[in-house]
Structure 1
Amino acid sequence: MRILLISRCPPYPLYLGDRLIIYHLARHLSQRGHWIDLLALDDGAAGMEAIAHSRRYADFFHDIQIFPDPRRSFLQLARRALLPSERFPRSADSAWSPDLWNAARRAASQPYDLVHVFGGISVYEIAGALAHLPRLITPYESFSLLLRREREVSDDRLIAQIRLTFARRYESFMFAPYERVVVVSEADAAELRALNPDYRVDVIPNGVDLAYFYPTSAPRIPGRLLFVGNFSYPPNVDAALWMARDVLPLIRAAHPDATLRLVGSDPPPEVTALASSYIQVTGRVEDVRPEYAAADVFLCGLRVGAGIKNKVLEALAMGCAVVATPISADGIAITPDHHALIAPPDPAAFAAAALRVLADPNLRKRLSANGHQLIKMQYSWDHTAQQYEALYRQIV
């Protein structure tokens, strides 16, 4: 097939989780003989790395065009939310990104079999530039689901409710021009179907690069607890603070040698301030695999979030015993007590689950083996690419 891929971000660097599926799906599809061209926005989140590392994905695409992602004002967002006539621009002049719109309009005259759009509010409008080309969109997750969960733990429920109302308004119409909407978990799919029953929503989870993430023979450090996350994402900050302040003291009361290692880019001051003799805040590391390999237990105490958690997929792939909240396990076919321990976001219950794993080497070994096998069987990027190929054939 000849495929036009339009994305809210470039496919690299991979420590930014929204790049993973674009990179790996394009890699696998190109290996399968598909012709792929890329139009992408760049919001500057990766700085110059997005350009410096473009060579890492250049071979996947026949043509690559990347444009700056313009900021959208509150007034612009409000007008589209409230005025149906402005929701889907008819020309570049009224688009969020005139450059991307014009590029998509020119591309629409080419003999593409399919257009695959990745993203939500920044790119949904591009449907109006695609003429009659078959198209699907992957918004990753439901932003409404994320904000609904965020409202439950917010200190300012009024602001949280206003943000949720806007998100629901947008997600009730954004995806109407697309033949299919693809999200990574059933929870996200249910949220979108409730907002617009006419949406045709499919679930295709992310995968893991099994040639990169796999169990090693490196010794694990007794008592080491690990959390990995991009800390520019607020739910990861909330999880780190909650685990360090509310959960870890309960664990250390019963297991004084326990330490918590917080690994990931852009830790804000409130996270770096957690550093102590038993909490390490590393910032971004070049290779996260030694972190997974050395940890006794991977803790994922997300209380807010949507979509699938790449960090949990990676930890399981590397044979690290996992203790996670239900939100952390969204989109992953985990059988509790078999592949991982699932505990509610209650400090005592979460700490008890972590202590159970720390105290039982046989349990750690069993969770390690079963978790790795789950990922190997169901969550490879090759399997993800196969599912997308099947969906493409249905649409075309």
Structure 2
Amino acid sequence: MQDSRPPLLYLTHRIPYPPNKGDKLRSFNILRQLARTHRVWLGSFVDHPDDHRHIPALRQWCEQTCVIPIEPGIRRFASLRGLLRGEALSLPYYRSPRLARWVGQVVAEHGIRSAVAFSGPMAQYLDVPGLSRRVVDFCDVDSAKWTQYAADRRWPMSWLYRREGERLLDFERRAAAGVEASLFVTEAEAEVFRRAAPEVGDRVGVMQNGVDAEYFAPANAGASPYPAGAPVIAFSGAMDYWPNVDAVCWFATELLPAIRRAMPGVRFWIVGMNPAPAVQALAGEDVVVTGTVPDVRPYIAHADLVVAPLRIARGIQNKVLEAMAMARPVVLSAAPAVGLAARDGVECSIADDGDELCRRVVELLGDPSRRAAIGAAARDCVLRAYSWSAHLRTLDWLLDAQGTDAGLAQAVQAREGAAPNAPALVRTP
């Protein structure tokens, strides 16, 4: 029987499988959702040697793939040509003539009219004849992230990061002006972009992160990986990602000593792949650095407390949702709490500064019944507010809308009861 699903182009800056880190969790769930209603042509990059073996697995969701291998060290050097061209360095990093040719070819050969680009730099491939419904999932305002990084660096990196923020914002504005809808992970991020790019504000919307609450469930805790007796504070995430590196270094060096004075014997476990040298250097009697683990769930589920002490964070953190889904009490700093639909003191614990974070950690470690209550409420919150399928319907509505500008606006607005953060207008050329 002929497949009646319409064709769609999906572009990601990193292979969306396996879903083992923040951006890949989102890009994979988008792929899985798109494949339910469309025949998907996937263009992507693979930047880690271990990921090459996962390319065949993508066939179960894709009609065809074009996955370009890149070596990060070489690409970083090549991206410096952006200095000569006056453009953001992120753009040449993800620029591939081979991928551009493939995009043009499959759009023409298969009559593809709709496209979704995951992450801003992939929008550079959307200016192709034939595409009439284009959505960019920016996730976060990356230009603002680079500007934030600049504040914590010395010259010349402060200058380079500030320049990247400025040039990338220029590109983000042009990209958003050239597509029908731009999506961000929280209303706070969307509002940052609306202020920076008011000319496209009516086409900016929100598609929140979700979590697989069946996979990240207390019933799937498995055996405890921790030695008996010592209270455990856990942090999970990709440990070569600078905001995570900064978070665990700050927590381990500045906050953990005070926590251990109040609660002797507490150990901090840093769970995640590719620990940077600064993270590896933290390992000792009080701190355990695991590196890659086969399954993160036991480390989350059997921790007495999960922390997310991020000082640099944009958007809802998957690590927080996963811990909440496994009914763990989470103590987090203010930055990752922005946009989180969880009540402080009920479904999580939010600290405004380091002293308060220490106090809240110590209080919860000393109160098992309160930890259990917050954990149970956290899982209820996830089940209520963070279903991937519910959030990703925003994409279906945007891609399926038909007709004129007015008709498209009406189609989106008609869904506002179920998707209040959908863009108010989706424009066609």
Conserved? CA contact 1:150–1:305, under 8 Å? no
The unaligned stretches of length 5 or more in structure 2 are: 1-5, 402-425
1:162 aligned residue? 163
Query: Within the alignment, does 1:38 sit opposite 2:37 as a pair?
Result: no
2:9 aligned residue? 4
Conserved? CA contact 1:25–1:384, under 8 Å? no
1:92 aligned residue? none
Written as runs of structure 1 = structure 2, the 5 A alignment for 1:266-345 is 266-344=274-352
| Deviation sequence 1:356-390 (CA, Å, 0-9, x none) | 21122222112111111111122122223322212
Written as runs of structure 1 = structure 2, the 5 A alignment for 1:336-355 is 336-344=344-352, 346-355=353-362
- Tell me which of 378, 389, 392 is aligned to 2:399: 392
The alpha carbon displacement at 1:246 in A equals 0.6
The alpha carbon displacement at 1:7 in A equals 1.5
1:22 aligned residue? 27
The alpha carbon displacement at 1:161 in A equals 3.1
Distance 1:132 1:270, change over 3 A: closer
Distance in 2, matches of 1:60 and 1:132, equals 21
Distance in 2, matches of 1:63 and 1:169, equals 32
Distance in 2, matches of 1:147 and 1:33, equals 35
Task: Name the stretch that deviates more: 289-298 or 154-163.
Answer: 154-163
The unaligned stretches of length 5 or more in structure 1 are: 83-87, 90-94
TM-score (ref. length: structure 1): 0.89
Amino acid paired to 2:232: R
Task: Name the stretch that deviates more: 273-282 or 127-136.
Answer: 127-136
Conserved? CA contact 2:183–2:207, under 8 Å? yes
| Deviation sequence 1:129-150 (CA, Å, 0-9, x none) | 2434211111221112222333
Conserved? CA contact 1:298–1:322, under 8 Å? yes
Amino acid paired to 1:3: L
1:304 is paired with a residue of what secondary structure?
coil
1:213 aligned residue? 216
TM-score (ref. length: structure 2): 0.82
Distance 1:308 1:335, change over 3 A: same
Distance 1:33 1:169, change over 3 A: closer
Amino acid paired to 2:79: S
| Deviation sequence 1:215-260 (CA, Å, 0-9, x none) | 1376796621001121221111000100000111111111112110
Task: Name the stretch that deviates more: 67-76 or 302-311.
Answer: 67-76
1:81 is paired with a residue of what secondary structure?
coil
Task: Name the stretch that deviates more: 272-281 or 69-78.
Answer: 69-78
Distance in 1, matches of 2:217 and 2:45, equals 32
The alpha carbon displacement at 1:311 in A equals 0.6
| Deviation sequence 1:330-350 (CA, Å, 0-9, x none) | 342121111100102x32111
The alpha carbon displacement at 1:313 in A equals 0.9
Distance in 2, matches of 1:260 and 1:387, equals 39
Amino acid paired to 2:117: V
The alpha carbon displacement at 1:174 in A equals 3.1
Distance 1:350 1:388, change over 3 A: same
Distance in 1, matches of 2:39 and 2:160, equals 45
The alpha carbon displacement at 1:158 in A equals 4.5
| Deviation sequence 1:164-184 (CA, Å, 0-9, x none) | 333333333233211111111
Task: Name the stretch that deviates more: 213-222 or 282-291.
Answer: 213-222
Conserved? CA contact 1:224–1:260, under 8 Å? yes
The alpha carbon displacement at 1:78 in A equals 5.0
1:171 aligned residue? 172
Amino acid paired to 1:358: L
Distance 1:148 1:190, change over 3 A: farther
Distance in 2, matches of 1:279 and 1:389, equals 45
Distance in 2, matches of 1:206 and 1:78, equals 37
| Deviation sequence 1:304-342 (CA, Å, 0-9, x none) | 122321111111111110000121223421211111001
Query: Within the alignment, does 1:201 sit opposite 2:204 as a pair?
Result: yes
The alpha carbon displacement at 1:74 in A equals 2.2
Distance in 2, matches of 1:353 and 1:155, equals 33
The alpha carbon displacement at 1:160 in A equals 4.2
Distance 1:132 1:212, change over 3 A: closer
1:184 aligned residue? 185
2:293 is paired with a residue of what secondary structure?
coil
Distance 1:28 1:163, change over 3 A: closer
Distance in 2, matches of 1:357 and 1:78, equals 53
Distance in 2, matches of 1:198 and 1:33, equals 31
1:136 aligned residue? 135
The alpha carbon displacement at 1:113 in A equals 4.2
Task: Name the stretch that deviates more: 320-329 or 237-246.
Answer: 320-329
1:37 is paired with a residue of what secondary structure?
strand
Written as runs of structure 1 = structure 2, the 5 A alignment for 1:32-111 is 32-42=36-46, 44=47, 46-47=48-49, 49-69=50-70, 71=75, 72-76=78-82, 78-81=84-87, 96-109=95-108, 110-111=110-111
Conserved? CA contact 1:149–1:305, under 8 Å? no
The alpha carbon displacement at 1:159 in A equals 4.7
Distance 1:2 1:120, change over 3 A: same
Amino acid paired to 1:381: W
Distance in 2, matches of 1:24 and 1:369, equals 25
Conserved? CA contact 2:186–2:208, under 8 Å? yes
| Deviation sequence 1:36-95 (CA, Å, 0-9, x none) | 2212122x2x21x3221223332111111212358343233552539xxxxx99xxxxx9
Seq. identity, %: 29
1:85 aligned residue? none
Distance 1:10 1:133, change over 3 A: same
